[in-house]
Amino acid sequence: MSEEIEHIETLIIGSGPAGYSAAIYAARADLHPVVIQGLQPGGQLTTTTEVDNYPGYPNGVDGTKMMEDFKAQAERFETDTRWGMVTKVDFSKRPFKVEIDEKTNVIAETIIIATGASAKWLGIEDEKRLNGYGVSACATCDGFFYKGMDVVVVGAGDTAAEEATYLAKLCNKVTMLVRRDEMRASKAMQKRVFNTPNLEVLFNNDTKSINGEPGEIGVESVTSINNKTGEETITPAKGFFVAIGHTPNTSLFKGQLDMDENGYLIIEAGTSKTKIPGVFAAGDVADHVYRQAVTSAGTGCMAALDAERFLAAQE
Protein backbone atom coordinates (compact mmCIF):
# COMPACT_ATOMS: atom_id res chain seq x y z
CA MET A 1 0.00 0.00 0.00
CA SER A 2 1.46 3.38 -0.90
CA GLU A 3 1.79 6.01 1.83
CA GLU A 4 -0.59 8.98 1.47
CA ILE A 5 1.48 12.17 1.15
CA GLU A 6 0.08 15.43 2.51
CA HIS A 7 -0.34 18.09 -0.15
CA ILE A 8 0.22 21.64 1.17
CA GLU A 9 -0.64 24.76 -0.80
CA THR A 10 1.81 27.17 0.90
CA LEU A 11 4.59 25.89 3.09
CA ILE A 12 6.43 28.48 5.18
CA ILE A 13 9.76 27.43 6.65
CA GLY A 14 10.60 29.50 9.73
CA SER A 15 8.63 31.32 12.40
CA GLY A 16 10.24 34.73 12.89
CA PRO A 17 8.68 38.04 11.80
CA ALA A 18 9.14 37.11 8.12
CA GLY A 19 7.53 33.68 8.45
CA TYR A 20 4.52 34.85 10.45
CA SER A 21 3.95 37.97 8.33
CA ALA A 22 3.97 35.75 5.25
CA ALA A 23 1.51 33.45 7.04
CA ILE A 24 -0.89 36.30 7.93
CA TYR A 25 -1.02 37.46 4.31
CA ALA A 26 -1.13 33.95 2.84
CA ALA A 27 -3.90 32.85 5.21
CA ARG A 28 -6.01 35.89 4.43
CA ALA A 29 -5.57 35.11 0.72
CA ASP A 30 -6.86 31.55 1.33
CA LEU A 31 -3.53 29.92 0.56
CA HIS A 32 -3.87 27.65 3.64
CA PRO A 33 -0.34 28.22 4.95
CA VAL A 34 1.47 25.69 7.08
CA VAL A 35 4.34 27.12 9.16
CA ILE A 36 7.13 24.75 10.19
CA GLN A 37 8.53 26.55 13.20
CA GLY A 38 12.11 25.22 13.22
CA LEU A 39 14.65 24.88 15.98
CA GLN A 40 13.95 28.29 17.52
CA PRO A 41 10.18 28.94 17.37
CA GLY A 42 9.63 32.68 17.09
CA GLY A 43 13.15 33.20 15.78
CA GLN A 44 15.92 35.48 16.98
CA LEU A 45 13.57 37.97 18.68
CA THR A 46 12.75 35.40 21.33
CA THR A 47 16.33 35.85 22.55
CA THR A 48 16.02 39.59 23.04
CA THR A 49 14.36 41.41 25.88
CA GLU A 50 12.69 44.70 24.99
CA VAL A 51 11.96 45.60 21.36
CA ASP A 52 11.62 49.36 21.13
CA ASN A 53 11.77 49.95 17.40
CA TYR A 54 8.85 47.90 16.08
CA PRO A 55 6.13 50.32 14.97
CA GLY A 56 2.83 49.97 16.79
CA TYR A 57 4.28 49.34 20.25
CA PRO A 58 4.75 52.86 21.63
CA ASN A 59 6.02 51.57 24.97
CA GLY A 60 8.16 48.78 23.56
CA VAL A 61 7.42 45.07 23.85
CA ASP A 62 9.18 41.96 25.07
CA GLY A 63 10.59 40.05 22.07
CA THR A 64 9.02 36.73 23.06
CA LYS A 65 5.65 38.39 23.66
CA MET A 66 5.83 40.10 20.29
CA MET A 67 6.43 36.78 18.55
CA GLU A 68 3.52 35.21 20.46
CA ASP A 69 1.38 38.06 19.09
CA PHE A 70 2.64 37.41 15.53
CA LYS A 71 1.76 33.72 15.92
CA ALA A 72 -1.68 34.43 17.42
CA GLN A 73 -2.47 36.80 14.56
CA ALA A 74 -1.42 34.22 11.96
CA GLU A 75 -3.49 31.53 13.71
CA ARG A 76 -6.51 33.82 13.88
CA PHE A 77 -6.71 33.39 10.10
CA GLU A 78 -6.22 29.62 10.41
CA THR A 79 -2.54 29.32 9.76
CA ASP A 80 -1.47 25.80 10.69
CA THR A 81 1.69 26.18 12.83
CA ARG A 82 3.63 23.01 13.51
CA TRP A 83 6.60 21.99 15.63
CA GLY A 84 9.42 20.50 13.59
CA MET A 85 12.43 21.06 11.41
CA VAL A 86 12.56 20.82 7.66
CA THR A 87 15.36 18.34 7.04
CA LYS A 88 15.37 18.03 3.24
CA VAL A 89 13.92 19.83 0.23
CA ASP A 90 13.73 18.89 -3.41
CA PHE A 91 13.11 21.88 -5.66
CA SER A 92 13.79 19.97 -8.90
CA LYS A 93 10.11 19.87 -9.82
CA ARG A 94 6.78 21.19 -8.58
CA PRO A 95 5.01 20.36 -6.34
CA PHE A 96 8.13 20.49 -4.19
CA LYS A 97 9.02 17.56 -1.97
CA VAL A 98 9.87 18.43 1.64
CA GLU A 99 11.00 16.16 4.44
CA ILE A 100 10.20 17.13 8.06
CA ASP A 101 12.09 15.80 11.09
CA GLU A 102 13.80 13.22 8.87
CA LYS A 103 10.62 11.18 8.73
CA THR A 104 7.53 12.89 7.30
CA ASN A 105 7.31 13.77 3.63
CA VAL A 106 4.95 16.42 2.31
CA ILE A 107 4.57 18.13 -1.04
CA ALA A 108 4.03 21.86 -1.43
CA GLU A 109 2.77 23.93 -4.34
CA THR A 110 4.72 26.95 -3.18
CA ILE A 111 7.36 27.51 -0.51
CA ILE A 112 8.37 30.61 1.43
CA ILE A 113 11.80 30.33 3.04
CA ALA A 114 12.09 32.41 6.21
CA THR A 115 14.77 30.48 8.06
CA GLY A 116 16.63 33.56 9.29
CA ALA A 117 20.22 33.71 10.46
CA SER A 118 22.12 32.49 13.52
CA ALA A 119 24.84 34.10 15.60
CA LYS A 120 28.44 33.15 14.73
CA TRP A 121 30.81 31.73 17.35
CA LEU A 122 34.59 31.94 17.57
CA GLY A 123 34.87 28.16 17.45
CA ILE A 124 37.05 27.71 20.53
CA GLU A 125 36.44 24.84 22.94
CA ASP A 126 35.85 27.10 25.99
CA GLU A 127 32.86 28.66 24.26
CA LYS A 128 31.02 25.34 24.27
CA ARG A 129 32.32 24.32 27.67
CA LEU A 130 31.05 27.53 29.32
CA ASN A 131 27.98 28.21 27.19
CA GLY A 132 25.21 29.22 29.58
CA TYR A 133 27.76 29.69 32.38
CA GLY A 134 28.84 33.15 31.32
CA VAL A 135 29.25 32.69 27.56
CA SER A 136 26.51 34.21 25.43
CA ALA A 137 25.89 35.52 21.91
CA CYS A 138 23.19 37.97 22.93
CA ALA A 139 23.88 40.87 25.28
CA THR A 140 20.33 42.13 25.24
CA CYS A 141 19.08 38.69 26.32
CA ASP A 142 21.64 37.90 28.98
CA GLY A 143 23.23 41.21 29.98
CA PHE A 144 20.82 41.56 32.87
CA PHE A 145 22.54 38.66 34.69
CA TYR A 146 25.83 40.59 34.81
CA LYS A 147 24.58 43.75 36.48
CA GLY A 148 27.45 45.47 38.31
CA MET A 149 30.01 42.90 37.10
CA ASP A 150 32.88 42.98 34.58
CA VAL A 151 32.29 41.53 31.11
CA VAL A 152 34.13 41.04 27.80
CA VAL A 153 32.68 41.55 24.31
CA VAL A 154 34.39 40.12 21.22
CA GLY A 155 33.84 41.76 17.85
CA ALA A 156 34.23 45.14 16.21
CA GLY A 157 31.17 45.63 14.03
CA ASP A 158 27.99 47.57 14.75
CA THR A 159 26.53 44.67 16.72
CA ALA A 160 29.56 44.43 19.00
CA ALA A 161 29.62 48.20 19.50
CA GLU A 162 25.90 48.26 20.25
CA GLU A 163 26.13 45.35 22.67
CA ALA A 164 29.19 46.78 24.42
CA THR A 165 27.56 50.16 25.00
CA TYR A 166 24.35 48.45 26.13
CA LEU A 167 26.32 46.33 28.62
CA ALA A 168 28.27 49.37 29.83
CA LYS A 169 25.02 50.78 31.19
CA LEU A 170 24.46 47.65 33.29
CA CYS A 171 27.93 46.44 34.13
CA ASN A 172 30.85 47.72 36.12
CA LYS A 173 33.34 47.47 33.26
CA VAL A 174 33.22 46.27 29.65
CA THR A 175 36.32 45.25 27.72
CA MET A 176 36.05 44.89 23.94
CA LEU A 177 38.44 42.54 22.18
CA VAL A 178 39.04 43.78 18.63
CA ARG A 179 41.20 41.60 16.41
CA ARG A 180 42.53 44.35 14.13
CA ASP A 181 43.91 47.82 14.86
CA GLU A 182 40.59 49.39 13.92
CA MET A 183 36.90 48.73 14.27
CA ARG A 184 34.51 47.90 11.45
CA ALA A 185 31.58 49.61 13.21
CA SER A 186 30.20 52.87 11.80
CA LYS A 187 31.90 56.07 12.92
CA ALA A 188 28.84 57.04 14.97
CA MET A 189 28.91 53.75 16.87
CA GLN A 190 32.66 53.99 17.41
CA LYS A 191 32.16 57.45 18.86
CA ARG A 192 29.69 56.03 21.34
CA VAL A 193 32.17 53.30 22.28
CA PHE A 194 35.04 55.74 22.83
CA ASN A 195 32.82 58.12 24.79
CA THR A 196 31.73 55.45 27.25
CA PRO A 197 33.96 55.80 30.31
CA ASN A 198 33.66 52.23 31.62
CA LEU A 199 34.34 50.67 28.22
CA GLU A 200 37.92 49.79 27.23
CA VAL A 201 38.93 48.57 23.77
CA LEU A 202 41.90 46.22 23.39
CA PHE A 203 42.95 46.38 19.73
CA ASN A 204 44.86 43.56 18.00
CA ASN A 205 43.63 41.13 20.61
CA ASP A 206 42.49 37.56 19.88
CA THR A 207 40.73 35.43 22.47
CA LYS A 208 43.06 32.71 23.70
CA SER A 209 40.90 31.16 26.42
CA ILE A 210 37.85 31.73 28.56
CA ASN A 211 38.74 30.73 32.07
CA GLY A 212 36.38 29.26 34.66
CA GLU A 213 34.33 26.17 35.34
CA PRO A 214 30.78 25.30 34.33
CA GLY A 215 28.33 25.46 37.22
CA GLU A 216 28.11 28.00 39.97
CA ILE A 217 31.54 29.54 39.38
CA GLY A 218 31.18 30.06 35.63
CA VAL A 219 33.44 32.40 33.70
CA GLU A 220 36.10 34.12 35.82
CA SER A 221 38.40 35.74 33.30
CA VAL A 222 39.40 35.89 29.66
CA THR A 223 42.92 35.52 28.31
CA SER A 224 43.63 37.41 25.11
CA ILE A 225 46.79 37.63 23.11
CA ASN A 226 48.06 40.64 21.21
CA ASN A 227 48.59 39.38 17.65
CA LYS A 228 51.28 42.05 17.00
CA THR A 229 53.37 41.75 20.16
CA GLY A 230 52.41 38.32 21.55
CA GLU A 231 51.61 39.93 24.90
CA GLU A 232 48.96 38.13 26.93
CA THR A 233 46.28 39.95 28.93
CA ILE A 234 44.05 38.37 31.53
CA THR A 235 40.82 40.36 31.91
CA PRO A 236 38.65 39.50 34.92
CA ALA A 237 35.08 38.94 33.67
CA LYS A 238 31.96 37.04 34.64
CA GLY A 239 30.40 37.34 31.19
CA PHE A 240 31.84 36.69 27.72
CA PHE A 241 29.73 38.00 24.85
CA VAL A 242 30.42 36.96 21.28
CA ALA A 243 29.22 39.54 18.72
CA ILE A 244 31.00 38.67 15.48
CA GLY A 245 28.11 38.52 13.03
CA HIS A 246 25.59 36.01 11.81
CA THR A 247 25.33 33.05 9.43
CA PRO A 248 22.21 32.65 7.31
CA ASN A 249 20.39 29.34 7.82
CA THR A 250 20.66 28.11 4.25
CA SER A 251 22.62 24.84 4.36
CA LEU A 252 19.39 23.00 3.49
CA PHE A 253 19.21 24.77 0.12
CA LYS A 254 22.85 24.35 -1.00
CA GLY A 255 23.08 23.31 -4.63
CA GLN A 256 19.43 24.16 -5.27
CA LEU A 257 19.23 27.93 -4.81
CA ASP A 258 21.71 30.71 -5.59
CA MET A 259 23.57 32.20 -2.63
CA ASP A 260 26.14 34.94 -2.18
CA GLU A 261 29.64 34.28 -0.83
CA ASN A 262 28.33 34.39 2.75
CA GLY A 263 25.46 31.98 2.10
CA TYR A 264 22.62 34.52 1.96
CA LEU A 265 19.93 33.58 -0.59
CA ILE A 266 19.92 35.64 -3.76
CA ILE A 267 16.54 36.95 -4.78
CA GLU A 268 15.37 39.02 -7.73
CA ALA A 269 15.73 42.69 -6.76
CA GLY A 270 12.52 44.25 -5.48
CA THR A 271 10.80 40.86 -5.10
CA SER A 272 11.05 37.74 -2.94
CA LYS A 273 11.63 35.44 -5.93
CA THR A 274 14.46 32.92 -5.89
CA LYS A 275 15.61 31.40 -9.17
CA ILE A 276 13.07 28.56 -8.77
CA PRO A 277 9.55 29.68 -9.72
CA GLY A 278 7.30 29.03 -6.73
CA VAL A 279 10.08 29.28 -4.14
CA PHE A 280 10.30 32.63 -2.33
CA ALA A 281 12.55 33.98 0.41
CA ALA A 282 11.92 36.57 3.12
CA GLY A 283 13.69 38.05 6.11
CA ASP A 284 17.30 37.74 7.28
CA VAL A 285 17.94 34.63 5.20
CA ALA A 286 18.13 36.90 2.15
CA ASP A 287 19.14 40.17 3.85
CA HIS A 288 22.48 40.82 5.47
CA VAL A 289 22.05 44.58 5.34
CA TYR A 290 18.95 45.61 7.27
CA ARG A 291 18.19 42.55 9.46
CA GLN A 292 15.38 44.25 11.36
CA ALA A 293 12.09 42.78 12.56
CA VAL A 294 10.16 45.38 10.60
CA THR A 295 12.06 44.79 7.33
CA SER A 296 11.67 41.03 7.79
CA ALA A 297 7.96 41.43 8.32
CA GLY A 298 7.77 43.59 5.18
CA THR A 299 9.54 41.02 3.04
CA GLY A 300 7.34 38.28 4.54
CA CYS A 301 4.33 40.17 3.25
CA MET A 302 6.01 40.50 -0.18
CA ALA A 303 6.68 36.75 -0.29
CA ALA A 304 3.04 35.92 0.42
CA LEU A 305 1.85 38.33 -2.28
CA ASP A 306 4.38 36.88 -4.73
CA ALA A 307 3.22 33.34 -3.85
CA GLU A 308 -0.42 34.31 -4.32
CA ARG A 309 0.29 35.79 -7.76
CA PHE A 310 2.38 32.80 -8.70
CA LEU A 311 -0.38 30.34 -7.78
CA ALA A 312 -3.03 32.45 -9.52
CA ALA A 313 -0.97 32.40 -12.71
CA GLN A 314 -0.83 28.57 -12.60
CA GLU A 315 -4.62 28.22 -12.67
Catalytic machinery residues: 138, 141-142
Residue closer to ligand NDP (CB basis): 16 or 278: 16
Q: Are 286 and 273 in contact (CB under 8 A)?
A: no
Spell out the residues 6+ positions from residue 81 whose beta carbon is closer than 8 angstroms to its own. 15, 23, 34, 35, 37, 71, 74, 75
Hey, CA dihedral for 255, 259, 263, 265, is it positive or negative?
Answer: negative
H helix runs in 33-135, sequence order? 63-76, 125-129
Query: Given the rule CB under 6 A, which of 32-40, 41-49, 153-161, 305-313 is the region that contacts ligand NDP?
Result: 153-161
Of the candidates 272, 288, 291, the one whose C-alpha atom is nearest the C-alpha of residue 280 is 272
Of the candidates 277, 304, 307, 263, the one whose C-alpha atom is nearest the C-alpha of residue 91 is 277
The correct pick among 106, 137, 160, 259 for binding ligand NDP (CB under 6 A) is 160
Q: Helix, strand or coil for residue 30?
A: coil
Residue closer to ligand NDP (CB basis): 94 or 184: 184
Question: Quick count: other Cβ atoms within 10 Å of Cβ 200?
Answer: 13
Per-residue binder mask for ligand NDP (CB under 6 A), 26-65, x = binder: ----------------------------------------
- Residue 11 β-bridge partners: 34, 111
User: What is the C-alpha radius of gyration for the chain, rounded to an integer number of angstroms?
Assistant: 22
Residue closer to ligand NDP (CB basis): 10 or 235: 235
Position 291 contacts ligand NDP (CB under 6 A): yes
Phi–psi pair at 69, nearest 5 degrees: -65, -40
- Tell how strand 199-202 and strand 173-177 pair up: parallel
Position 156 contacts ligand NDP (CB under 6 A): yes
Residue closer to ligand NDP (CB basis): 182 or 268: 182
Of the candidates 209, 199, 205, the one whose C-alpha atom is nearest the C-alpha of residue 172 is 199
The correct pick among 84, 214, 245, 298 for binding ligand NDP (CB under 6 A) is 245
The one-letter amino acid code at 158 reads D
Position 222 contacts ligand NDP (CB under 6 A): no
The correct pick among 124, 149, 202, 244 for binding ligand NDP (CB under 6 A) is 244
Q: Are 92 and 257 in contact (CB under 8 A)?
A: no
Query: Given the rule CB under 6 A, which of 59-67, 127-135, 168-176, 238-246 is the region that contacts ligand NDP?
Result: 238-246
Query: Given the rule CB under 6 A, which of 14-22, 34-42, 155-163, 303-311 is the region that contacts ligand NDP?
Result: 155-163
Residue closer to ligand NDP (CB basis): 91 or 264: 264
Position 155 contacts ligand NDP (CB under 6 A): yes
Residue closer to ligand NDP (CB basis): 85 or 244: 244
Position 95 contacts ligand NDP (CB under 6 A): no
Q: Which of residues 169-208 bind ligand NDP (CB under 6 A)?
A: 179-180, 184
Spell out the residues 6+ positions from residue 248 whose beta carbon is closer than 8 angstroms to its own. 115, 116, 117, 259, 262, 263, 264, 265, 284, 285, 286, 288
Task: Output the smallest distance, CB 202 to ligand NDP, in A.
Answer: 11
Q: Which of residues 107-126 bind ligand NDP (CB under 6 A)?
A: 122
Q: For binding to ligand NDP (CB under 6 A), which residues are involved?
A: 122, 154-160, 162, 179-180, 184, 244-246, 289, 291
